[in-house]
């Protein structure tokens, strides 16, 4: 052992390189079959499924910052499928199923933890909306039920049942609600993709998209030109700006979303608890920190600055739900840029440019869909532009047909 350690220490090249979980690519070649813009969860997941299930490994992931350093690191890691529309329930349900097997598949622990998610209803109209969601979920094989105050008390004994003078009338109990370590999800996918030959190029910013006769032919980067026959755009909050480089517009408005996390305390709250009326959702991570998320900012902005009014309202509502939390200290606070569509559903599939595929409009619901996005986007690429059934409803042209998938009630402020 000491001898091998000595050998390791005397080597001139970076000693961990060949044993690295995620081998880094040094040279950016001038041509690839597929270029994926964005090395966040969605981008690396697409590369992973392309390499693993379709044998397509001549792929470059171009990331302007570092792996999983954008919204993948800024979300609040909620996994659930209790949506309102049949299209949404099917799609997010498939994602939850994939999440459950990821640690085994990667041979890498993503700290997936099924806790159940409890969404609180404080008004009669919320109760009837939740009843509808529970019915639709159950019909499409999801696990959701409407539960009363007694059961809520049993699930979350420390919850104040009358927060901010808005008594808790009922709850939407979603047994499949879960959380996972968001960075680990990106790392796991990146590990699986790069070990199969996909190249991950960090600090490589796409500055332009080359389009000839309506077909994509390559991208320009800060490290030179790259030719390719197919591009997948997965850039979260910058989707609209990237699409403009390719010459078309997206029906997206960008809002910051703010969140914060407390110091770690011993486990006291098992399920993920959210209150749409109080614009507040709360969960305790495996490390004991309590993650707090709020509703979106009140006006659009391409900026991850934080504001005091939003933090104040988030904290006062969190303390109203869990009064003893007033004793806790905050560790960190941050914001992410979210690209919100008018129907709160994503934009996936074909774009006006041939060979340029979209994975955009992920607003505040991107993390929970990471695996199914990667899987369906890989199918789309491998099929040469044949859109998989699961993502057909989320096409860009639905806006022209006025065929929106309205998920506002199931999405806004109830991650």
- Binding of another protein at residue 62 (CB under 8 A)? no
Total residues contacting another protein by CB under 8 A comes to 23
Shortest distance, CB of residue 253 to another protein, whole angstroms? 5
Can you state the angle between helices 86-106 and 182-194, rounded to 10 degrees?
Answer: 70
CA angle (126 as vertex; 120, 130 as ends), nearest 5: 75
Q: Please identify, using beta-carbon distances, which residue of 58 and 313 lies nearer to another protein.
A: 313
Q: Single out the segment in contact with another protein by CB under 8 A; choices: 64-72, 147-155, 240-248, 321-329.
A: 240-248
- Binding of another protein at residue 34 (CB under 8 A)? no
Q: Which of residues 309-328 bind another protein (CB under 8 A)?
A: 309
Q: Please identify, using beta-carbon distances, which residue of 301 and 412 lies nearer to another protein.
A: 301
Which of 141, 167, 224, 298: binder of another protein (CB under 8 A)? 298
Which of 20, 303, 326, 331: binder of another protein (CB under 8 A)? 303
Look at strands 59-62 and 31-37 and give their pairing.
parallel
Shortest distance, CB of residue 394 to another protein, whole angstroms? 14
Helical ranges in 223-346 per DSSP H? 239-245, 308-321
Q: Please identify, using beta-carbon distances, which residue of 250 and 320 lies nearer to another protein.
A: 250
Q: Please identify, using beta-carbon distances, which residue of 13 and 400 lies nearer to another protein.
A: 400
CA 337 from centre of chain: 12
The percent of the chain in helix, strand and coil, each rounded to the nearest 5, is: 35, 25, 40
Please name which of 357, 353, 384 lies closest in space to residue 37, comparing C-alpha atoms: 357
d(CA 413, CA 298): 12
Q: Please identify, using beta-carbon distances, which residue of 134 and 243 lies nearer to another protein.
A: 243
- Binding of another protein at residue 241 (CB under 8 A)? yes
Q: Please identify, using beta-carbon distances, which residue of 34 and 252 lies nearer to another protein.
A: 252
- Binding of another protein at residue 403 (CB under 8 A)? no
d(CA 147, CA 127): 10
Q: Which of residues 328-367 bind another protein (CB under 8 A)?
A: 342
Task: Give phi and psi for 76, each to the nearest 5.
Answer: -105, 15
Which of 307, 316, 333, 354: binder of another protein (CB under 8 A)? 307
Which of 177, 251, 276, 349: binder of another protein (CB under 8 A)? 251
CA angle (191 as vertex; 181, 69 as ends), nearest 5: 50
Shortest distance, CB of residue 163 to another protein, whole angstroms? 22
DSSP state string for 209-235: EEEETTEEEEEEETTEEEEEEEEEE--
Which of 105, 145, 399, 409: binder of another protein (CB under 8 A)? 399
CA dist list (Å): 37 to 309, 345, 347: 35, 21, 16
Shortest distance, CB of residue 245 to another protein, whole angstroms? 12
Q: How far apart are the first and last CA of the chain?
A: 49
d(CA 368, CA 256): 18
Which residues here bind another protein, judged by CB under 8 A? Answer: 240-241, 244, 249-254, 298-303, 305, 307-309, 342, 399-400, 402
């Amino acid at each position: 052992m000491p001898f091998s350690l000595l050998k390791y220490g005397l080597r001139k090249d970076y000693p961990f390189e060949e044993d690295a979980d995620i081998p880094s690519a040094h040279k950016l070649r001038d041509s690839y079959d597929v270029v994926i813009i964005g090395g966040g969860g969605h981008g690396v997941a697409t590369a992973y499924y392309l390499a693993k299930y379709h044998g397509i490994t001549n792929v470059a992931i171009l990331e302007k910052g570092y792996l999983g350093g954008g919204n993948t690191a800024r979300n609040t890691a909620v996994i659930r499928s209790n949506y309102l529309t049949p299209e949404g329930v099917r799609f997010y349900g498939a994602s939850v199923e994939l999440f459950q097997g990821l640690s085994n598949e990667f041979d890498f622990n993503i700290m997936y933890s099924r806790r159940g998610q409890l969404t609180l209803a404080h008004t009669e109209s919320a109760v009837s909306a939740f009843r509808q969601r529970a019915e639709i979920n159950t019909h499409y094989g999801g696990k959701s039920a409407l539960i009363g105050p007694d059961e809520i008390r049993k699930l979350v004994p420390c919850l104040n049942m009358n927060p901010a003078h808005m008594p808790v009338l009922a709850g939407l109990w979603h047994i499949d609600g879960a959380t996972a370590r968001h960075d680990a999800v990106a790392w796991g996918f990146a590990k699986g993709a790069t070990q199969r030959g996909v190249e991950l190029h960090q600090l490589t910013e796409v500055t332009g998209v080359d389009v000839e006769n309506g077909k994509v032919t390559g991208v320009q980067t800060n490290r030179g030109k790259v030719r390719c026959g197919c591009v997948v755009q997965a850039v979260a909050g910058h989707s609209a700006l990237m699409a403009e480089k390719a010459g078309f517009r997206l029906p997206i408005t960008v809002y910051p979303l703010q969140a914060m996390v407390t110091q770690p305390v011993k486990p006291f709250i098992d399920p993920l608890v959210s209150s749409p009326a109080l614009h507040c959702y709360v969960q305790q991570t495996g490390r004991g920190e309590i993650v707090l998320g709020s509703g979106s900012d009140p006006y659009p902005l391409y900026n991850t600055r934080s504001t005091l009014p939003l933090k104040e309202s988030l904290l006062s509502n969190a303390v109203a739900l869990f009064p003893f939390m007033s004793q806790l200290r905050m560790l960190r606070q941050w914001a992410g840029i979210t690209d919100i569509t008018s129907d709160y559903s994503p934009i996936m599939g074909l774009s006006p440019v041939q060979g340029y595929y979209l994975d955009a409009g992920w607003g505040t619901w991107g993390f929970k869909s990471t695996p199914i996005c990667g899987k369906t986007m890989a199918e789309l690429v491998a099929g040469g532009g044949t859109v998989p059934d699961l993502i057909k409803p989320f096409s860009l042209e639905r806006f022209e047909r006025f065929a929106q998938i309205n998920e506002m009630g199931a999405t806004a402020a109830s991650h």
